[in-house]
Structure 1
Amino acid sequence: MIEVHYVTFDCARPYEVATFWRDALGLRFHPETDKDEDDEFLLQGDTLNLLFMTVPEGKTVKNRLHLDVTASPDSTREKEVERLLGLGATIFDDLRKPDGSGWVTMLDPEGNEFCVCRAEHERK
């Protein structure tokens, strides 16, 4: 059996992208982070670690891997879409349906796709 060590994002501006995801997910920077010196930034959580690394090439196609996120029990998909827009995300494709199903595909500040899905507590 293996365990996931990090989920890694290749970035042109890793500190900016890491800061977006820190604020979006409530993670924290590794204590030795130095935004002026580092070209890698590690975000840590209780069960999730995200690594953001500088790479020379830009993103040219759709992600082959993306995150699907849901609202915590005290929030909703709609509130989270608005909050994420305020943090610098953009809407790529809005696939919400009148019956409440569906999702919103968003882009982080470097264009990495992620989906905001309806949480289980919103389905009741």
Structure 2
Amino acid sequence: MENSKLSGRVRTSRLTFIILAWGLVACIVAQTLLAGMALFNDPKHWSHHVIFVHIFEFIPLLMIIFAFAGRLPKGTAWLCLALFALIYVQYFTANLPAAGALHPVMALALIILSLHVAKRAHVSYGKL
């Protein structure tokens, strides 16, 4: 089915999903920048790093809603749930000394997965 034949609600949901997906990518990049600024510039940026996550931590849940409303491929919602789970697990790695080394590694996983989801949304938007 071509994109032009989809209902307005489905097209709007898909476009919203794409905006949220790329917004999440941008937020993860900004979050990483804040961590780098705290490490290499001024430790006061740790508070910004800690606070900023609360701005975007629920974006993957919104993406799940728009994945269903936009009739995106079924696996898309599961990938968004995985993004949310990774963000949630980041809290544990940040607060458990034994797991602290995993925090930046999981940030890499978050950026890779969020990029995959955003690119996948563009492909789905064009095909379906």
Quickly name the TM-score band, shorter chain normalised: under 0.3
Judging by fraction of residues, say which structure has more strand: 1
- Report which of the two structures shows the higher radius of gyration computed on alpha carbons: 2
Larger RCO: 1 or 2 (CA < 8 Å, sep 6+): 2
Q: Which has the higher helix share?
A: 2
TM-score by length of 1: 0.27
